[in-house]
Amino acid sequence: QKEVEQNSGPLSVPEGAIASLNCTYSDRGSQSFFWYRQYSGKSPELIMFIYSNGDKEDGRFTAQLNKASQYVSLLIRDSQPSDSATYLCAVTPSGTYKYIFGTGTRLKVLA
């Protein structure tokens, strides 16, 4: 079992729709969870992070964390073509502060 799993996609959504990206992790003691966006040929850039169970909103983005079920998700409201990118989930395992990345989910927002 991979430590951090994401569906590689592509996930296609129409412009204006809600995109839902999911990530599961294997280490139950993981502490911190990060979502990065990576455009083709570019480096990852942080969208948001979440530490506590529940939802965290930042503009059009909402991160949801459920530690009991060991998943974290990212919702993108009012999706725009400029949101088309690969979204990377990163998890900090228990006892460390390093990141374990998933393989990323490629999102395509159709105009």
Partner 1 sequence: EAGVAQSPRYKIIEKRQSVAFWCNPISGHATLYWYQQILGQGPKLLIQFQNNGVVDDSQLPKDRFSAERLKGVDSTLKIQPAKLEDSAVYLCASSLDGRGPSYNEQFFGPGTRLTVL
Kindly list the residues in this chain that would bind partner 1 in the complex (CB under 8 A).
Answer: 4, 8, 31-32, 34, 42-46, 49, 51, 88, 90, 92, 96-104
Task: Using the minimum distance from each CB to partner 1, give the nearer residue, 20 or 31.
Answer: 31
Task: Using the minimum distance from each CB to partner 1, give the nearer residue, 36 or 76.
Answer: 36
Q: 3-state DSSP call for residue 19? A: strand
* Cβ at position 33, least distance to partner 1 in Å: 10
* Cβ at position 7, least distance to partner 1 in Å: 13
Unique residue bearing structure tokens 């990576």 = 38
What's the rounded Cα separation, in Å, for the pair 6 and 23?
A: 5
Beta strand residue intervals within 15-98, DSSP E: 19-25, 32-38, 45-50, 54-58, 61-66, 71-76, 85-92
Task: Using the minimum distance from each CB to partner 1, give the nearer residue, 97 or 111.
Answer: 97
